[in-house]
Every structure is written in C-alpha cells, then in structure tokens.
Amino acid sequence: MRSYGIWLVGACGGVSTTLACGLSALQREAIPPSGLVSSSPIFDGVQLPPLKSLVLGGHEIRDESLVSAARQIARDNGSLSIELLETVQDDLEQIDGRIEPGVLFNSGPAISGLEGLHDQVNFTDPRLALERILVDLNRFKEENRLDEVVVVFVASTEPAPEPHPAHEVSSKLEEHLAAGDGTPFLASTLYAMAAARLGCPFLNFTPSPGALLPAIAQLLEEAAVPFMGSDGKTGETLVKSALAPMFKYRNLKILSWQGYNLLGDRDGEILAHEANRSTKVASKDQLLRDYLGYPLHSKVTIDYVPSLGDNKTAWDFIHFEGFLGHRMSLQFTWQGCDSILAAPLVIDLARMLLLAKLRQESGPQPHLSLFFKSPFGGDEHDLHRQFHLLGDYLASARDAS
Ligand SMILES: NC(=O)c1ccc[n+]([C@@H]2O[C@H](COP(=O)([O-])OP(=O)(O)OC[C@H]3O[C@@H](n4cnc5c(N)ncnc54)[C@H](O)[C@@H]3O)[C@@H](O)[C@H]2O)c1
C-alpha cells in the first residue's frame, strides 16, 4: 500500500494534538468519521489517500510531547477522553519519535516568549534554518518510505512581517537567502520554502501572512506543487459566510456586523498580543466587505479568557435594513471547541492536497475555498457557492478515475 506523510508545523499544539489522537482512533476504527468533510457522501467514488495510509510527523519549538499535550487537553478541556487516550497512546508515542525541534525566526515576542522552548530552535542565518527543515523533512520521507508528504503550517499565529521588496518576487527572496540576510524571512516563510524545495504540497491553516507571501506562492508554482490557505474557517466566520448570502439573496442591507470572540488556551494567549491578533482580526473581518461589495460598519474583537480553554464563544450582532428602511437585527452565539472543529479539516485538506499532487495539479486550489477564512487568490466567500465549487471539482476527479 502507498503511504503519505502529513508534516505538522506546530506538532504539539491544540489542533495537531487533537488531529493526532483523532487520526489514530480513525485508523483503528475506534470512532466514526464525524466532522470529516472527506467522509461525507460528496466524496463517494473519489480516490483520496486512505486514512490508514497517512503517517504523521512534524516540527515543534516547545520541548513537549504529544502524549503529555493530549493528557493536558484531556485534563483541562475534556475534549479528548481518557478512554481515547488509552486507545491511541502507542501511536502517539510513535509519532513523538518523528517530531523534531522547529525553527524560530523573526517570530515576535509572543511566540519567542512561550514557556518551555527547546534550546535548538533559535536561528539568525536563514540558510541554516532552512537546511534544518529540509534535513528533517527528507529524513521523514525516507525513513517512512512515503510516496508524498504534505507540509501543514498549523503553528502559532505570527505577526505580519515588515514589508520588504523581496516579498513580491521569488528570485529576490532567493537572493536574500543566498546572502544570509534574514530580514525578509519569518519562520513560516522558511517552512513554505522548504515545501517548495522538496516538491511537497503546502497548506497554511493559519492567518500568518509570512507563509504565503506573493514570492512564496511563486516559488510553490515554480515547483509545480498544489498549495492553499489561509486560516481555517471553523467557527464564527463559517457562520458568517453562511448567513451573509442569506441577507444578499433577500436584498436585506446589512448596516453593521459586530462580532465578539472570547477564547482561552495557548492560541488565545498568543492572540492577546496586538501584533499577532491584528493578522487574525484582518482575516476574520475581510469576508463581509469582499462579499457584500458595499460599505458597512463591522468590527471583530478577540479577548483572551483563560478559563475557557479551547471552548470558544462568539457573539455576533447583525443590524440590517428591510422594506421601507425599517431596521431589524439578528444575533447568534456560537460555542465551539476550536480544535475539535479544526483538526478534521486539516485531515480533509491534507488528503485533498495529496490528491491534487497525485493528479499532477499545481498552484492554488480554489475548490478548497470552503475551508478558509481568506481563500488564497479567491474572491468567493459565499459558503453555498464554495460548496458547489468543491462538488464540481470532485465530479471531475471522479470522472477521471
Ligand atoms: N479552530 C481553530 O483552532 C483554528 C482555526 C483557524 C486557524 N487556526 C490557527 O491554527 C494555529 C494553531 O492553533 P492551535 O489552537 O493549535 O494553537 P496552539 O497554540 O495550541 O499551537 C500552536 C503550536 O505551534 C508551536 N509553534 C509556534 N511557532 C512555531 C514554529 N515556528 N515552529 C514550530 N512550532 C511552532 C507552538 O509551540 C504550539 O505548540 C493558530 O495559528 C490558529 O490561529 C486555528
């Protein structure tokens, strides 16, 4: 049987740990595939890499293991049960053997200040940082005899990089790398460059702009690999992209859309820093303006509430105008467990990018817009139309097989 690797950057974070536990339980047929879009009927007859063919590895900057990260989630959050941890313990130990110290590079004070960092993660020369990533990825591929590897950036949200001319053109970025000038690079940029170097599909599940700079997209295109991002659409923005079309279809004019997000956990702690939060807020706020095409008052706020753990609460207030200019409102409260919502999507996206690579497709994958807050290069934000895009792609993949 062919085997495929998923390389998780941020391997012991909440999303990755939940993914590792869930994938192991799925491979052991210990749980049903709830929440996996790729197990729903629209995928019938599509030759996706089977769940049992997937092998996990990754990079992590903290001196942490999946086993202890999973125990902590079970204790603090309850989204992973003790029974589940007993079922998957052996698999987690094996994956822990394939997790390597990651790379910190211009990552900003919030990430560099995380507790328990490995002592081998600090780099000042981007060539050495990239070399480390390439060595680890190559070893993962060879030792596990993998046919393909998809690189998934699911690490903490980075601040936006300082604008730099090399961000626009791949050859300029390569020149700065060759000269050992680290100024234009963030850690995410280097991970994406490594994917391009090795011909691996690349997924940016985070809002971090450094991962899919225009120059990086060019490099990935030149390497003829499929890629997609940015920022998984799992909660408030998912509901937004389902509801905004309803107002548009019925010609109800949205005047204001105000959203308050409360979240705890490490992700919330990082987003408590203004520089990191602003990349997330921009990603969450962009959809309405792009989709509605008229000005409105909108604001997204994110507050860190430690006791919530991974259980996020979003309250949205939508003020709209109907016939005779009469004003009305809709409110919703979303209470979701972030990693439980995100982890299956990462599995779906990894399988889809591997499928695209096997079909010799390359470049951005607009049929995956459904999964993102800021779909790369895409101006389609209507959830219903995004679902049709995916359906059309799957029909063509089914016909070709
Ligand atoms: N619903 C969701 O959970 C959701 C949705 C969309 C996007 N995201 C994004 O996914 C990312 C991960 O979310 P999470 O809840 O797992 O966060 P987390 O803080 O639990 O995990 C992030 C992990 O990345 C590690 N890390 C940071 N920088 C690194 C680097 N340079 N190299 C290797 N590892 C590094 C951290 O040590 C941590 O273990 C965040 O950027 C988040 O905004 C999450």
What is the CATH number for 220? 3.40.50.720
Provide the CA 329 distance to its chain's centre, in angstroms. 32
Q: Say if residue 71 is exposed, middle or buried (CB neighbours under 10 Å; 0-12, 13-18, 19+).
A: middle
Distant-in-sequence, close-in-space partners of 86: CB < 8 Å, separation ≥ 6: none
Distance 209 CA to ligand 1 centre (A): 14
Distance 191 CA to ligand 1 centre (A): 14
Among 196, 129, 193, CA closest to 166: 193
β-pair partners for 151: 7, 202
Distance 63 CA to ligand 1 centre (A): 15
Per-residue confidence (pLDDT) for residue 284, from 0 to 100: 63
Q: Rounded to an integer, what distance in angstroms lies between the CA atom of residue 57 and that of residue 177?
A: 26
From 316, 336, 356, the end of a domain falls on 336
Would you say 376 and 213 are in contact if contact means Cβ atoms under 8 Å apart?
no
**Same domain (yes/no): 330, 379:** no
Q: Which residues of the chain have pLDDT under 50?
A: none
Counting other chains too, the contacts that 84-89 makes at CB distance below 8 Å and 24 or more residues apart are: 84/21, 84/25, 84/30, 84/31, 85/21, 87/24, 87/25, 87/28, 87/30, 88/20, 88/21, 88/24, 88/25, 88/28, 88/30
The verdict on whether omega for the bond into residue 362 sits within 30 degrees of 0, i.e. cis, is: no
Distance 154 CA to ligand 1 centre (A): 5
0.85 exceeded by pTM: yes
Per-residue confidence (pLDDT) for residue 280, from 0 to 100: 65
The β-bridge relationship of strands 311-321 and 327-337 is antiparallel
Task: Supply 356's token pair.
Answer: 């695209």
**Same domain (yes/no): 178, 207:** yes
Query: Which atom of ligand 1 is nearest the CA belonging to 9?
Result: 33
Per-residue confidence (pLDDT) for residue 310, from 0 to 100: 87
**Same domain (yes/no): 33, 164:** yes
**Same domain (yes/no): 208, 124:** yes
DSSP 343: H
From 336, 355, 374, the end of a domain falls on 336
Counting other chains too, the contacts that 123-129 makes at CB distance below 8 Å and 24 or more residues apart are: 123/182, 124/182, 125/180, 125/182, 126/176, 126/177, 126/180, 126/181, 126/182, 126/185, 126/190, 127/177, 127/178, 127/180, 129/103, 129/105, 129/185, 129/187, 129/190
Residue 116: which region, alpha, beta or left (left: phi > 0; alpha: psi -120 to 50)? left
Query: Which atom of ligand 1 is nearest the CA belonging to 336?
Result: 1
**Same domain (yes/no): 320, 351:** no
The residue type of 257 is W
Distance 91 CA to ligand 1 centre (A): 21
Per-residue confidence (pLDDT) for residue 33, from 0 to 100: 95
Query: Which atom of ligand 1 is nearest the CA belonging to 62?
Result: 37
**Same domain (yes/no): 328, 351:** no
Q: Rounded to an integer, what distance in angstroms lies between the CA atom of residue 386 and that of residue 49?
A: 23
Per-residue confidence (pLDDT) for residue 268, from 0 to 100: 73
**Same domain (yes/no): 305, 256:** yes
Q: Rounded to an integer, what distance in angstroms lies between the CA atom of residue 44 and that of residue 35?
A: 16
Per-residue confidence (pLDDT) for residue 401, from 0 to 100: 67
**Same domain (yes/no): 312, 359:** no
Q: What backbone phi and psi angles, to 5 degrees, belong to 305?
A: -125, 95
Helix H or strand E encompassing 55: strand 54-60
Distance 13 CA to ligand 1 centre (A): 6
**Same domain (yes/no): 297, 154:** no
**Same domain (yes/no): 326, 376:** no
Number of domains in the chain: 2
Residue to mutate (ligand 1; options 267, 279, 348, 371; most atoms within 8 A of CB): 267
DSSP 155: S
From 320, 336, 352, the end of a domain falls on 336
Among 262, 231, 264, CA closest to 376: 231
Per-residue confidence (pLDDT) for residue 39, from 0 to 100: 95
The residue type of 86 is E
Q: What range defines the domain where residue 227 resides?
A: 4-231+340-400
At residue 260, the 3 state secondary structure works out as: strand
Ligand 1 first shell, C-beta below 6 A: 9-10, 12-15, 59-62, 102-104, 107, 111, 114, 154-157, 187, 205-206, 231-232, 234, 266-267, 270, 338-339, 341-342
**Same domain (yes/no): 108, 11:** yes
Per-residue confidence (pLDDT) for residue 319, from 0 to 100: 97
Distance 111 CA to ligand 1 centre (A): 10
Task: Supply 47's token pair.
Answer: 């030759």
Residue to mutate (ligand 1; options 8, 15, 234; most atoms within 8 A of CB): 15
Domain containing 288 — which CATH number?
3.30.360.10
Distance 197 CA to ligand 1 centre (A): 23
Query: Which atom of ligand 1 is nearest the CA belonging to 17?
Result: 16
**Same domain (yes/no): 86, 219:** yes
Per-residue confidence (pLDDT) for residue 324, from 0 to 100: 97
